[in-house]
Chains A and B, each alone.
Chain A
Amino acid sequence: MERNQSHRQVANMRKALFDQRYLDEQFVQLEELQDDVNPNFVEEIVTLFYRDSTRLILNIEQALEKSSLDFSKLDTYMHQLKGKTTSIGAIRVKNECTQFADYCNAGNGEGCKRTFQQLKKEYSTLKKKLETYFQFARQIGPVETACRSSY
C-alpha cells in the first residue's frame, strides 16, 4: 500500500512536471532510453545538463555585467545554452533562451538582463523539482515510467 502510494506520488510529481510545462517530450525520450544497462539514465543526463550549463550561465552573467554588451557573444552563449536545454526537455528554460536571443538581436540590453533573471529562476526551479523527483524515484526503486504518453 505504501509502496503504491509512493509510486503514485512519484507518478504525480512526474505528471506535474509535464502538466506545468517544465518538461516536454524529450524527457519522455530519456525515460525510454533508460533500461537495465543504464537504470539511472535520466538522472545521469539531468546531472550532466546542470553540470555542463553551470559554467555557461556564469559566463552569460559575467558578460551581462559589462558596461557595453557584446550581443554577438551573448547570442552565442545563449545558443549553446538553448541546445543544452533541449537535451532534457527543459522547455521553460528553453523559452527564456529564445526570448533572450530575441532581445540580443534587437540589441536590447535591458531586455536581455531581465530575461536572464527569469531564465535563472526557471533553471533553478527545475533543478530543485528534478532533484526531489529523483530522490523519490530512487526511494521506490526501479520505476517503470507509467503513462508516458499522457503527460
Chain B
Amino acid sequence: MEGSFSSPRTDSFPAGLRVLVVDDDLAWLRILEKMLKKCSYEVTTCCLAREALDLLRERKDGFDIVISDVNMPDMDGFKLLEHVGLEMDLPVIMMSVDGETSRVMRGVQHGACDYLLKPIRMKELRNIWQHVFRKRIHEVRDIEGQECMEEFQMMRHGSELSDEWHSFSGGELNSGKKRKDVENKYDDKDFGDPSSAKKARVVWTVDLHQKFVRAVNQIGFDICRNLSGFQLFSYHLLEGDDFHLCLAEVGPKKILDLMSVPWLTRENVASHLQKYRLYLSRLPKDNDLKAAFGVVKQLDLSSQDSHGSLGLQNSLNTQQTDAASGIYGISGNKPITQNANPKFCEGDLKGIVSVPLIESKKATIHDIPDPPKASSSRTGPNHTFGPLEPDVKYGRFDSPVRKQYSWCDVPQIQFKQEHKVNLQIENGFNHLPSVSSRPFTREREKPGYMDIKPPYTKCSNQQIRQAIPIGSGANSFHVQSENPVTSFQAAEPTLSATTWSMKNHGLSQIFINNMEAAQRNLVLGSNSGFASMDGDLLACLLQGDRCPTNVELLNKESLNHNSQDLFAETPAYVYDAQRFDYEYPLETMEYPVIDQGLFIV
C-alpha cells in the first residue's frame, strides 16, 4: 500500500503487517510467503534484490519490514540491507543457511534487526512484528533524544568541545525539563497501535538532503571555526574513530532553520539526522571502509583567484585498485601554489578520508578507468553515481581512516589563511584511500563539479566542494591539482596518520562527508562526472556502510549515467530526487561536516 504508514488496517496489529520477502531461492520464497500469510501478514515476494529495491522505492511506506536472504546473485544481501536501512529505514531481517558467527555479526553490523537460519520455522516468523514495533518506539525516543541534545548543545555551545562532548556522551543532558516536555508530547500519541505512532514519512529527496547537508555543514563549519585548532585536534585524538566533532553542535533546530523548508518539521530533521548518524556509525569498523569522511579542505579562496585549492579529498573509497586512484589523480589543474593558495597538505587531505561507505572489500572500482564517461555525468544528476557500489571500493577503510576526518585538522584551518596552507598533497594523498572527492580548487572550474565554496570565507572564495562526480567517471575526480584529494588513490585505509599533519596549515577544510566522498568514489568509479554528488553522496552517506551496493552494480552503473540506477544504488534518501544539482555544491562539503558532527559516538 502506498501512502503514509498510517494506511488503514482493519485488523489489529500485527495482523496485516506488510512484509517484503527477497530471496533468489524460489522454493523458499514460496514457503516464506505461505508461512507469512498464515501469520496473517501481507506478503510481497521478490526474487531479485534490485527488484525489491525498486519496489520499496516505488511504494514508500508501502512495507513495514523486509526479510532478505544474504546470498543473492544480483546483489549482496548486506548491501540491500544497507540500502533499505538508509533509504527507507525499515527493519530488515536477514536469512541464510549459513549461521557462522562472522556472518551473523556482519549482518548485525550492517543493521539487520535479526538473522534467521534456514530452515526457518513458522514460529520464528510469527514474531517479526516485534522489530517493527521496536523501531517505532525507538524512532520516537530518538527524536526526543535529539531534541534534548539540541537543547543541551545550544546551552553548551562555545565551550570546550571536548568537554562538551564528554559531557554529552556522558548523557548528562541538562535539558531534563525539555525532555519531559517532549515525552509528554509523545505520550499523548496513541501507542496502542504501533503503526500509528509513525508519522507520514518525509521523502528525503536529493534536493532536500542536499539542503540538509548544507545546513549541517554550515553549522559544523561555524562551530569548527570557533574552536581552536588544538581543541579540535585534541578532540579528535580523544575520540578516535568516532567523529562527533560537530555532533553536539549540530542540532535539528538549527539545521531546520538553515534549510528553510517551510513544511519540514524539526522532528523530520531530527530523525533524518539520527538516521544519518546511525548510518555513519554502522560503517564497518574492520578494515573495510569506515565512514570515510570526505573532508574537503577548503582552501580559503580568499585569494584573488577564487579557487581555493581545496583539497577535497574524498577518500571515500578505498579504492583498492590503483586504477581508481589513478583516476583521481590530481588533474593538475591548478597548482596549489598559484595565487597563494594554500597548499593542501596531504596530511590534511587525508583527513578527508574517504568515506568508508562501502565496506566492500571488493573495492574494485572498475569504472574508474574511464574518465571520459564522467564528463557527461556532470551535467546531470544522472550521473551514475556509482551507486553505493563504490562502497565496495572503499573497501578498506578502517576506523583509523575515520579519524582522518580532517576535522582534526580543522583547528588548523584558519579559514582566513588562505595562503599559508601548504599542501603536501603528495604525501598525504598517497595514503588515502581512493579519494573520491575531488577537491576543487576552483570554483566551478569543471562543469559538473560541484563547486566547493568555502562557506565561511569571508571572501567570495568559493567553497570547494567536493565535486565528486558521483557517477561521473573518474574524470570528475580530477581533483584539481591543488586538491590533494586526488592523490588518494591507493591510499591506505588508515588515513589517520596524515591528517594530523594538517594542523600546520591554516587551511580551512571542509570536511566532506565520507559519504560524499564515498559517493564520489562511487561516482568516480562509475565514471560519472560530477554527478551531483549530492544525491549520490547522500545516498552513499545514507547508506552508510550499507551503501555499498555491489561493486558490480556500480560498475555497470557508472557507465550509464543513469542516475536512476545510481540512485538506486545509493541509499540516500535522495533516491527520489535522483538528480544532483550542481547548485548544491555545498553538499559535499556539508557532508563531511555533518557526518562528523553527526556521528554519534
A interface residues with partner B (beta carbon < 8 Å): 25-26, 29-30, 32-33, 38, 41, 44-45, 48-49, 51-52, 76, 79-80, 82-84, 86-89
Contacts and interface: CB of A to CB of B under 8 A. Distances in A.
Nearest to B98: A79
Contact of A30 (B31, B38, B118): B31
Interface string B52-74: 00000000000000000101000
A84 B121 contact: no
B340 to A, nearest CB: 54
Interface stretch (B21-29, B274-282, B533-541): B21-29
Contacts of B189: none
B119 A86 contact: yes
Contacts of B98: 79
B509 interface: no
A16 to B, nearest CB: 21
Interface string B491-509: 0000000000000000000
Given A86-B118, A87-B31, A33 B38 contact: yes
A84 B30 CA distance: 12
| Residue of A26, A45, A76, A83 ringed by the most chain B CB atoms within 10 A | A83
A29 B119 contact: yes
Contacts of B121: 29
A51 to B, nearest CB: 8
| Residue of B30, B38, B69, B122 ringed by the most chain A CB atoms within 10 A | B30
A87 B27 contact: yes
Interface string B22-50: 00011110110011001000000000000
A52 B26 contact: yes
B97 interface: yes
16 contacts: A29-B31, A29-B119, A33-B38, A45-B27, A48-B26, A48-B30, A79-B98, A82-B97, A83-B28, A83-B96, A83-B97, A84-B25, A84-B27, A86-B28, A86-B118, A87-B25
A129 to B, nearest CB: 18
A87 B34 contact: no
A38 B34 contact: yes
Given A84-B27, A86-B118, A86-B119, A33 B97 contact: no
Nearest to B96: A83
Given A29-B121, A52-B25, A87-B119, A79 B71 contact: yes
| Residue of A30, A51, A86 ringed by the most chain B CB atoms within 10 A | A86
Given A79-B98, A82-B97, A26 B27 contact: no
A52 B119 CA distance: 17
Contacts of B96: 83
A83 B71 contact: yes
Nearest to A85: B97
Nearest to A50: B27
Contact of B27 (A25, A32, A52): A52
A57 B371 CA distance: 41
Contacts of B118: 83, 86-87
Contacts of B35: 33
Contact of B30 (A25, A26, A44, A80): A44
B601 to A, nearest CB: 37
B26 A41 contact: no
Given A83-B96, A88-B27, A89-B119, 8 more contacts: A29-B119, A52-B27, A80-B25, A83-B69, A86-B97, A87-B25, A87-B27, A87-B31
Contacts of A44: 30
A89 B30 CA distance: 15
A79 B122 CA distance: 23
A76 B97 CA distance: 12
A19 B363 CA distance: 49
Interface of B: 25-28, 30-31, 34-35, 38, 69, 71, 96-98, 118-119, 121-122
B342 to A, nearest CB: 48
A82 B96 CA distance: 10
A84 B34 CA distance: 17
A144 B30 CA distance: 21
A33 B31 CA distance: 8
| Residue of B35, B96, B97, B121 ringed by the most chain A CB atoms within 10 A | B97
A5 to B, nearest CB: 31
A26 B96 CA distance: 15
Contacts of B71: 76, 79-80, 83
Nearest to B29: A48
Contacts of A51: 26
A89 B31 CA distance: 12
A48 B122 contact: no
A41 B31 CA distance: 9
Contacts of A89: 119
A51 B31 CA distance: 15
| Residue of B28, B69, B96 ringed by the most chain A CB atoms within 10 A | B28
Contacts of B69: 83
Contact of A41 (B34, B97, B122): B34
The 10 closest A-B pairs by CB, nearest first: A87-B27, A83-B97, A48-B27, A86-B119, A26-B119, A86-B118, A49-B27, A33-B34, A87-B28, A48-B26
Contacts of A32: 122
A84 B121 CA distance: 15
Contacts of B28: 83-84, 86-87
A58 to B, nearest CB: 15
Contacts of B31: 29-30, 33, 45, 87
A79 B34 contact: no
Nearest to B34: A33
A91 B251 CA distance: 56
A79 B27 CA distance: 15
Contacts of A30: 31
Contacts of B119: 25-26, 29, 86-87, 89
A82 B122 CA distance: 20
A79 B70 CA distance: 11
Nearest to A88: B27
A82 B38 CA distance: 26
Contacts of B27: 45, 48-49, 52, 84, 87-88
A32 to B, nearest CB: 8
